[in-house]
Amino acid sequence: MKKVLGIIALSLVGLVLVFVLYINLSWDKTYDAPYPEITISTDSTIIAHGKHLVYGAAHCASCHVPSDKLADVEAGKDVLLSGGWQFHIPPGTLRALNLTPDPETGIGKLTDAEIARTMRYAVGSDGRPIFPLMPFQNMSDDDVAAIISFLRSQEPVAHKVERTEYSFLGKAILTFGLIKPEGPTGTPPVSVTKDSTVEYGKYLANSVANCAGCHTNRDLMTGAFIGPRFAGGMNMPPEEASQGYGFITPNLTPHETGVLAKWNEDAFLKRFKSGRLVATSPMPWASFSRMDDIELKAIYRYLKSLEPVENPIPKTVFAPGEAIPE
């Protein structure tokens, strides 16, 4: 009997070793994706529009800056996007790369089409998939071009940022294709008319500002959506940057259990213009406070047009050591 149990134990150990070896040999996949035909510009108006998106609704500056520059971003300064911010989640340590035109450590050697492909298909210039944190797949051609035009206009900064490091769990997720590049859901628009309408708000909330990305319950292992869109409930456990605070995102649908049930349009605008109230909140308040009234009104009107979803979130901020409901 002991001999049989020993054989079984050795077999199990062997299977585990084979599985671990398979993961370590298979996770580093590369993918192909189309190169969008995007034409950038040196026109000051287009560059200014790109800058407005980068520091505002698209909130690139909330991640693609060094950690010691986040306070400057909060103060409304135009910090160069030299990368360095880190995000620790179970699949690994995600790092935001240098987006200045430095040829060695930034985007200086990348073509416009390579940058556009990263934005549209979540695949890096090396073909590796990017964790789904940037929802730009359906961004308009004009907005993609404006953002790249602005990025090209920055002063180059030599700042090498180490690539994202995946844990064994993250490598397993990549091995089995649970994280892989995803492209547009249709044909992205060439341009979108900026106006304080539900249609423009839908575009901003889904394809630029990524409101759905946090205000929808998600699987933190894969990034997959597992709850009704905009109904909140995403659990953000404490990490180093939060100083021990945890968060659950509120419901943004117009149901009485959502925060918008208590806010009219003026209150919504005032809240965004007020900026950050909780120091370690993951909400990119510094960027969103720079959105103009047209953008904020459009987002508010879109959110108010959503189907109400009952999802009470009685508490959204949890102090260090305080249990966060599963």
Is pLDDT at 19 greater than 90 in this prediction?
no
* Residue 201: pLDDT band with limits 50, 70, 90: very high
Averaged pLDDT, 296-311:
97
Residue 1's pLDDT band (cuts 50, 70, 90): low
Q: What is the pLDDT of residues 210-238, one digit of tens each?
A: 999 999 998 877 778 899 999 999 988 77
| Res 61 pLDDT > 90 | yes
| Confidence grade of residue 181 (pLDDT, cut at 50, 70, 90) | confident
For the residues 33-51, what does the mean pLDDT come to? 96
**Cα four-point dihedral sign 183, 185, 187, 191:** negative
Q: What is the pTM of this model?
A: 0.91
pLDDT bin (cut points 50, 70, 90) of residue 159 is: very high
| Distances from the Cα of 52 to the Cα of 49, 78, 158, 314, angstroms | 5, 10, 24, 34
Least confident of 14-18, 79-83, 136-140: 14-18
5, two tokens: 């149990």
Distance of CA 301 to the CA centre of its chain: 23
- Mean pLDDT lowest among 41-50, 170-179, 194-203, 226-235: 170-179
Average predicted confidence (pLDDT) for the chain: 90
Give the domain ranges of the chain: 31-186, 192-326
Cβ-in-10-Å burial (0-12, 13-18, 19+) of 104 comes to exposed
